[in-house]
């Protein structure tokens, strides 16, 4: 960020609001399906759909986020976005109606892209051009720290007082986040009117197509971690190893978010893309070929690094290539493909449960990451610049 104390304060407030949102609702996601089955009596298919609908809605609303924020503005986008993180856990406690639960999921799926896009656009607009990734890394690192801490706190609450206390606590944390976000500075930006012509113009660029492909592949890797790694660890090492292996991903993601943003701003966007995918490819391959606990710990660390730094390079690239007037729309268009990758990877969960096909799943995504790393590395080598042919500037 620029040296001004006002900009640092702005980043601190927005990061704090994210912290409380993800300390609660963000960290409560692993408990949702079990609660709906055990506490509300929903069958597994219905309970899983309630959580999955959040991600499906996220993909749709992310694409149209430019239109949405044009209506509500960045300030209300931030506040309403945090509000959905407070309301969703309360909806879970308040009703057992499947249609109402799905409505709550759609509400959260709308609020999440509002929160992320409006907040990161404001952070970028307040940042110097050499600190786009650093600022985004602070927000994302704060989120990962909140999820890690929230998982510990909510697990303790569940063991002492049960599911309802857990979700009410998650909602209360989100309410604190609303108050914090309301204190964030209001910035007025003259925005370009969103339209689908903008999307077609953006997507015609080969450089944009490359970034979209990278984020799609990054989403595949994260979706597999989110929905398939737990069963893979249980099968290979036993459930007792979950507490020792899974946190490696979060620890690596936290450190890589805070440090990776600085590195990205120093060395450029495309080298970070290349190294991020190379590291992720090794991690995925290691997870597929070895079930040893130490190997899976290392794999989770490496995949956590990729999860952190590839999107940071994507955010910074958008900051480099856009003006404040169209930044929200372009961010939505580009990052909806990452969410699509997560959704696709969710469907691979059943395959990763079977030892005969798990290697193919991990190996396939490893190969995809390797191809991305090779493509960027070759482009850098051919041009001798910090970007593929046809781009300009730092990225």
Q: Tell me: the pLDDT tens digits for 264-280?
A: 999 999 999 999 999 99
Q: How distant, in Å, are the alpha carbons of 133, 248, 310, 315 from that of 305?
A: 15, 10, 8, 16
Spatial contact of 300 and 125, defined as CB atoms under 8 Å apart: no
Distance separating the N- and C-terminal Cα atoms of the chain: 18
CATH number 1.20.1250.20 is the correct assignment for the domain at 1-189: yes
Q: Which fold has domain 190-388?
A: Growth Hormone; Chain: A; (1.20.1250)
The residue extents of the domains of the chain are: 1-189, 190-388
What is the pLDDT at residue 86?
Answer: 97
Give me the DSSP letters along 119-185: HHHHHHHHS-TT-HHHHHHHHHHHHHHHHHHHHHHHHHHHHHH-HHHHHHHHHHHHHHHHHHHHTSP
CA distance 21 to 80: 12
Read off the pLDDT of each residue in 52-58 and give the average, rounded to a whole number: 87
Spatial contact of 251 and 148, defined as CB atoms under 8 Å apart: yes
DSSP letter, residue 192: P
CA distance 342 to 348: 10
Q: Which of 145, 140, 194 is nearest to 313 (CA)?
A: 140
Rounded to two decimals, what is the model's pTM? Answer: 0.89
pLDDT class of 257 with cuts at 50, 70, 90:
very high
Q: Which of 186, 121, 123, 129 is nearest to 330 (CA)?
A: 121
Hey, do 1-189 and 190-388 end up sharing a CATH topology, with the first three levels equal? Answer: yes
pLDDT class of 356 with cuts at 50, 70, 90:
low
């Amino acid at each position: 960020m620029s040296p001004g104390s006002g900009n640092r304060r702005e980043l601190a407030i927005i990061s704090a609001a994210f912290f409380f949102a993800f300390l609660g609702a963000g960290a409560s996601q692993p408990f949702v399906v079990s609660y709906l089955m055990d506490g509300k009596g929903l069958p597994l298919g219905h309970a899983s759909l309630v959580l999955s609908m959040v991600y499906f809605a996220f993909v749709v609303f992310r694409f149209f986020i430019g239109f949405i924020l044009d209506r509500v503005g960045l300030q209300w986008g931030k506040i309403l976005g945090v509000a959905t993180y407070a309301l969703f856990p309360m909806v879970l406690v308040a009703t057992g109606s499947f249609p109402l639960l799905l409505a709550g999921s759609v509400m959260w799926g709308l609020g999440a892209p509002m929160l992320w896009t409006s907040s990161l656009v404001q952070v970028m607009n307040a940042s110097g051009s050499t600190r786009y990734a650093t600022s985004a890394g602070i927000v994302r690192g704060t989120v990962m720290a909140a999820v890690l801490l929230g998982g510990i706190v909510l697990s303790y609450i569940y063991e002492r007082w049960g599911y309802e206390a857990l979700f009410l606590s998650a909602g209360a944390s989100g309410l604190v986040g609303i108050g914090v976000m309301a204190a964030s500075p209001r910035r007025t930006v003259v925005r370009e009117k969103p339209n689908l012509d903008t999307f077609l113009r953006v997507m015609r660029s080969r450089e944009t197509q490359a970034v979209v492909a990278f984020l799609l592949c990054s989403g595949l890797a994260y979706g597999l971690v989110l929905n398939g790694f737990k069963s893979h660890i249980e099968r290979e090492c036993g459930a007792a190893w979950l507490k020792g292996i899974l946190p490696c991903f979060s620890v690596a993601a936290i450190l890589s978010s805070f440090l990776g943003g600085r590195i990205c701003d120093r060395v450029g966007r495309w080298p970070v893309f290349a190294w991020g995918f190379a590291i992720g490819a090794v991690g995925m391959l290691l997870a597929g070929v070895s079930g040893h606990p130490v190997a899976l710990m290392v794999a989770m660390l490496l995949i956590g690094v990729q999860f952190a730094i590839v999107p940071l390079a994507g955010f910074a690239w958008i900051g480099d290539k856009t003006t404040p007037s169209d930044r929200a729309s372009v961010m939505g268009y580009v990052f909806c493909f990452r969410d699509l990758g997560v959704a696709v990877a969710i469907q691979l969960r059943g395959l990763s449960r079977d030892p005969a096909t798990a290697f193919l799943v991990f190996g396939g995504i490893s190969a995809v990451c390797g191809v991305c790393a090779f493509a960027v590395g070759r482009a850098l080598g051919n041009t001798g610049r910090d970007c593929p042919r046809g781009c300009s500037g730092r990225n």
